[in-house]
Amino acid sequence: MSGVNKWQYDFIQTVLHLFMSIKGRINFLQLSRYSDFGEQHFRNQFEKEFDFLNFNIELSLEHASEDSILAFDPSYVSKSGKRTPGVGYFWSGCAGRSKWGLEVGGIGVIDLSNHTSLHLEAIQTPSSFDSKSLLDHYAEVLISRSEKLFRISKYIAVDAYFSKEPFVGKMTQEGFHTISRLRDDANLRYLFKGEQSEGRGRPKQYDGKVDYKNLNQQHAMLIEKTDNSETYQMIVNSVALKREINLVIVRTKKRKYWSHKLYFSTDLNLPAMDVLRYYRGRFQIEFTYRDGKQHTAMDNCQARSENKIHFHINTSLTAVNIAKVSHWLNTNKSERTAFSMSDIKTLHHNQLLMDRFLIVFGINPNTKKNKEKVRQLNNFGLIAA
């Protein structure tokens, strides 16, 4: 990467290793205890800018498969106090209610072949807006980074909250294809395909409203059918989104009753099974946030500077990337076990302590006698050792 000097190069290596090694809370004082840098050095470096988006894009292009799409999802970050920039009430999906704290909009790569996700960048959400909505803000975050994001994909998967015109319209205009889910009672209309009547008047555009209990077989194409499920695809007009969409209806039978879910893409030529695969793969980004909060101190930042918070949260999620690439993606697909951030954290914590012991006691770990003992100690406490 260009624009990274020697000091920052060494610091990024050190801080990523520490985030993968330190157990418990991670703050500036804790980082100084486990390294040769002082607490003030960490405070100064966290205030400086680092291009996490470019770093993680290069990482993804090198290690993720070509069968990848983008995903965007906001995540609540706990934060006490009232003087931190951006602090306010934000929705917490885990708690099922709004809570006091921070929110970041996370951009990620969904690797569909490897069934995992890699973090790209997390951008803090302001607590209030003057003349725009929250959806406008989310769209602007992605559009301002579109040139770099297009290196990964033009498809972006988002949850049902984003299936509204202010977001979908802006993303489509910029060149993104949105994959999401609609309300079960969405107002959709069939497109008229018959011959137009002669005479005055506007040509007929629509052929009636979509009745999900009684689909019009002239418009709905059956893609897949089993005893308990049916999958249909059609091009329809969405009244709420003000555009034609590629709709996929999945009807499922449970206890003799049929229910349905509506998935869509703004790419009218995308196959139905790809629409479902892209949307269902979106949930992998949630596991990245889970690992960041449980293992790499995503919500442990005690700083009140916006730059420091940005650096801390992105370092936390980037550390999950490094762990995934180093210990899981580089393993043959047939030999992989489930990805365990807990095991990787234990391994790096053991190695950090072992390196300190070897230096202090002046022991050579590379002798034939010591190699096996060092390996056993490094793997101490691993679930799958």
pLDDT digits (tens, 9 = 90+) for 77-123: 999 889 999 999 999 998 999 999 999 999 999 999 999 999 999 99
Q: How confident is the model at residue 132 (pLDDT cuts 50, 70, 90)?
A: confident
| Band of pLDDT at residue 276, cut at 50, 70 and 90 | very high
Q: What is the pLDDT of residue 385?
A: 44
Question: What tokens were used for 234?
Answer: 């059609």
State the angle between helix axes of 306-324 and 284-295 in degrees (0 to 180), rounded to the nearest 10.
Answer: 110
Mean pLDDT score of the chain, rounded to an integer?
92
**Domain definitions of the chain by residue range:** 6-158+283-334, 183-266, 341-378
pLDDT confidence bin for 50, thresholds 50/70/90: very high
> Which residues are bridge partners to 370 per DSSP?
none
How far apart are the C-alpha atoms of 43 and 305, rounded to whole Å? 10
At 173-210, the pLDDT tens digits run 999 999 999 999 999 999 998 888 787 878 888 999 99
239 vs 128, which has greater pLDDT?
239
What would the mean pLDDT of 218-222 be, rounded to a whole number?
A: 93
| Separation in Å, CA 311 to CA 55, 162, 308, 347 | 13, 27, 5, 25
Torsions phi, psi of 265, nearest 5?
A: -140, 145
Task: Give Cβ neighbours of residue 35 (< 8 Å, ≥ 6 apart).
Answer: 14, 18
Distance separating alpha carbons of residues 218 and 194, to the nearest angstrom: 11
Give yes or no for residue 48 having a pLDDT over 50.
yes
Backbone φ and ψ of 307, nearest 5°: -65, -40
Q: Measuring CA to CA, how many Å separate 165 from each of 150, 161, 242, 247, 308?
A: 22, 11, 7, 16, 34
In sequence order, what are the residues at sequence separation of 6 or more whose Cβ sits closer than 8 angstroms to the Cβ of residue 349?
Answer: 21, 22, 23
pLDDT at 1: 80
Is the pLDDT assigned to residue 54 strictly greater than 50? yes
Average of per-residue pLDDT across 277-292: 96
User: What is the reported pLDDT for 384?
Assistant: 58
Beta strand 206-209 with 221-225: parallel, antiparallel or unpaired? unpaired
According to the model, what pLDDT value does residue 377 have? 80
